[in-house]
Chain A
Amino acid sequence: MDILLAIAIMALGAVVLGAALGFASIKFKVEGDPLVDKIDAILPQTQCGQCGYPGCKPYAEAIAKGEEINKCPPGGVEGVQRLADLLGREVKPLDAEEKPKQIAIIDENTCIGCTLCIQACPVDAIVGAAKQMHTIVAPLCTGCELCLPPCPVECIRMEPIAENIDNWKWKYPVVEIKAAALKEAA
């Protein structure tokens, strides 16, 4: 009798807990793949395709499936570092040259208004209309260089973003311990 009661209690417990778990898995369902989203959050969203994938998200998906983490030049060494931290992989040197942050500039006198660059821009940072002058909305430009090749008159150029008072950063304080020691030694 006792045994039956114990079994019944255990069975009841199992049913209740199972129901709770089932309910939780429906209620708190995680949409999408959280790892891909975490990787995507680290990628710089320049959408330039230099990694060999059509945008940052596809590259994030590829990394989640085992692709190398050092293929995104805009992310730089720091990006590789952060991906390595996230995924517990080894830091590798960047598979390309690291470039300073830049934006595209259209020479508005040369532009013939062919609209090809608008179609190429992955983030809709170019405004213009057929046979009208085009221009880049600077704050939206990610510097991906994708608008350069389609331009038939080669009037788009890239310019590094200069340091100004608004984006200036305090430098890492110089640690003077070594400098002083050197001076004394000299």
Chain B
Amino acid sequence: MLMNLFKFKGGVKPPTNKTQSVTLPIAQAPLPSRLVVPLHQSIGGTPRPVVAAGDKVLKGQLIGEADGWISAAVHAPTSGTVVEVAMHVQPHPSGLDALCVVIEPDGRDEWIPREAVDYKALTPEEVRERLQQAGVVGLGGAVFPTHGKLTASKTVPMEELIINGAECEPFITCDDLLMRERAEEVVRGIGIFRDLLQPKKVLIGIEDNKPEAAAAMRAAVDALQEPFLVVPVPTLYPAGGAKQLIRVLTGKEVPAAKRSTDLGVQCFNVATAYTAWRAIAHGEPVVSRLVTVTGNVHAPRNYEVLIGTPMDELLKLATPHPDTDGIIMGGPMMGFLVPDPHVPVVKATNCLIAHDDRLFPPKPPEMPCIRCGACAQACPHELQPFEMYWFARAKNFGKTQEYHIFDCIECGCCSFVCPSRIPLVQYFRFAKSEIWAREREKNAADGAKARFEFKQLREEREKAEKAEKLARAAAAQAAKKAAEAAAAAAAGGDAAETAAAAPEVAPAAVDAAKEAKKATIEAAMARAKAQREAAQPKNVEALSGAQQKEIDEIEARRQVAHLTDADAASPAGEKTE
């Protein structure tokens, strides 16, 4: 089927190096000696560990519970014993540690009871919840929790659902093999996304250098009688970037500040659709993924790998050449050298490339920018990398933002074409993380300022309240005295007639009576004022039903624990009365 394709500006054509790893079918990687499963494998909140050292776990058992809506659960990749929950080095350019669950496999690979459901019988909320519980995240590399992308915008009708099978990055072939061998399940997974988002069209974009994958997908779509369109897109890096693919297939441009659903389009990776189907229809959480192992190795191939498998053990399966001196995770354009060969495979790991100087010759030193503009022509986002470079280098971060540095997807096209071999992307990453750090600091400072000012305000208020209480007590005292004096005067001066008959006593009595009256008025006014001011502590005004309920529950618990004593006024209670 022919359809009108759009184009994105720029792009480059690096050597694809894909043929090496597509000759062999997908193989199951054997159980490794040890699995190190990082808890934080997706964008969003870090899952909380729910196992401890010594626990026995089954394959697919929950080990990290999602923390908040944008967060995805983590599961044990095989059955065995938890050795420790500890900090281990991560497959992250920083080379820093993060919390991991270390599991020693028992070799049985025994599943938890798997519950297959017919998702058509579930509400959309339940499907999203299940996807979150199963740890389904975007497997294209961004690892955004999938359930978080499955809600259509309320105002904009969903036009297109884009399924990303472009896989534009050199060397990587895991999506290609997935589509060739497991097309049916991919298509069924796309069906789930379609039913949740209700788009008008579903477009599956596959780069035209993967005819076998496209044919397999077409066959599966026909076999399942789905109205999905399989669209070959021209091979041009980075056609597989979500924004580029959306642009090519629909002509829509998604700005950095907007979500794609606001434009009525959403994009998922084929591998994500596959895992979503496994999670819903087979009850299998994400415990493994396809990884291309290639580069400087004898037998490049795609493996189905358990999450947590140490990268060096995985690389050994493909017998790396002896001069291998590092492992690149991801592709040569956007990937990075892992800080330690033992780091585990995670959900974001789509490819391991054995690094050596023949495949990746060391870059000659950087030269000054000659402002040739090649980078601007190559940039798929129509940015001006040389300007951003200039300002990032000068640490003028405000200016880099004026040149839209946050629209940069770090695709590496600009660095690829730069005749001066300037590592432009590194400068952009540096600038972005500096800007983020500043933003964090700014927010922290604003918070501290607000809290400081509030504390001062509170101290003032407490002081005023105390002074007032003292004044009130003094007034009451005075009133009492005056009343006593008046009573004494009245008693001594023979009641009413004395006021008229004996003018010499009157002034004193009248004075005392006046005093008493004034004092009572003052005391009453002070009381009224105090009442007005202490009327209601601010934070319990306008409580929602749930909050009120929570408070009541806590009160009840406190009552049970004898923490509140109705008549014993605590000092805190006195203060806020």
Contact = CB atoms under 8 A, between A and B. Distances in A.
Co-complex (A, B): yes
Interface in A159-183: 163-165, 167-173, 175-177, 179-180
Given A179-B365, A180-B365, A164 B96 contact: yes
Given A123-B448, A180-B365, A170 B430 contact: yes
Contacts of A50: none
Interface string B434-476: 1011001100111111011011000000000000000000000
Chain A interface helix/strand/loop/mixed: loop
A175 B97 CA distance: 27
Interface string A29-54: 00000000000100111110000000
A165 B98 contact: yes
B423 to A, nearest CB: 5
A181 to B, nearest CB: 8
A180 B364 CA distance: 9
A101 to B, nearest CB: 9
Contacts of A47: 448-449, 452
A168 B94 contact: yes
Interface string B412-436: 0000000000010011011011101
A165 B448 contact: no
B437 A170 contact: no
Given A45-B445, A170-B426, A165 B40 contact: yes
A168 B93 CA distance: 10
Interface string A99-137: 000000000000000000000001111000110000000
A139 B449 CA distance: 14
Interface string B32-68: 0000000010000000000000000000000000000
A150 interface: no
Nearest to A139: B444
A171 B445 contact: no
Given A165-B40, A177-B367, A45 B449 contact: yes
A177 B430 contact: no
Contacts of A7: none
Contacts of B97: 164
Nearest to A179: B365
B433 A177 contact: no
Interface in A44-100: 44-47, 55-56
Contacts of A122: 452, 455
Contacts of B349: none
B571 interface: yes
Contact of A173 (B426, B436, B446, B447): B426
Contacts of B365: 176-177, 179-180
Contacts of A139: 444
B282 interface: no
Interface in B97-155: 97-98
A179 B366 CA distance: 11
Contacts of B244: none
Nearest to A101: B441
B384 interface: no
Interface string B295-307: 0000000000000
Nearest to B446: A45
A39 to B, nearest CB: 13
B452 A171 contact: no
Contacts of A168: 92, 94, 96, 433
A123 B367 contact: no
Contact of B366 (A44, A142, A163, A176): A176
Contacts of B40: 165
A15 interface: no
A167 B439 CA distance: 12
B427 A45 contact: no
A169 B90 contact: no
A180 B427 CA distance: 20
Most buried by B among A46, A125, A142, A173: A173
Contacts of A164: 96-98
Given A169-B434, A176-B365, A179-B365, A140 B96 contact: no
A124 B454 CA distance: 9
Nearest to A141: B448
A88 B507 CA distance: 72
A124 B426 contact: no
A123 B455 contact: yes
B96 A56 contact: no
Contact of A169 (B426, B433, B572): B433
Contacts of B433: 168-170
B329 to A, nearest CB: 15
A46 B449 CA distance: 8
Contacts of B454: 124
Contact of B92 (A40, A142, A165): A165
Contact of B437 (A55, A56, A169): A169
Contact of A175 (B94, B366, B448): B366
Nearest to B93: A170
A34 to B, nearest CB: 16
Nearest to B449: A45
A16 to B, nearest CB: 39
Contacts of A176: 365-366
A47 B452 CA distance: 8
Contacts of A179: 365
Given A130-B571, A165-B96, 7 more contacts: A40-B449, A123-B448, A125-B451, A139-B444, A140-B451, A173-B426, A176-B365
28 contacts: A40-B449, A44-B445, A45-B448, A45-B449, A46-B448, A47-B449, A47-B452, A56-B449, A56-B452, A122-B452, A123-B448, A123-B455, A124-B455, A129-B572, A140-B448, A140-B451, A164-B98, A165-B90, A165-B96, A165-B98, A168-B96, A169-B434, A169-B437, A170-B429, A170-B432, A171-B430, A173-B426, A177-B366
Across the A-B interface, the 6 shortest Cβ-Cβ residue pairs: A45-B445, A173-B426, A123-B451, A169-B433, A170-B429, A180-B365
Interface of A: 40, 43-47, 55-56, 122-125, 129-130, 139-140, 142, 163-165, 167-173, 175-177, 179-180
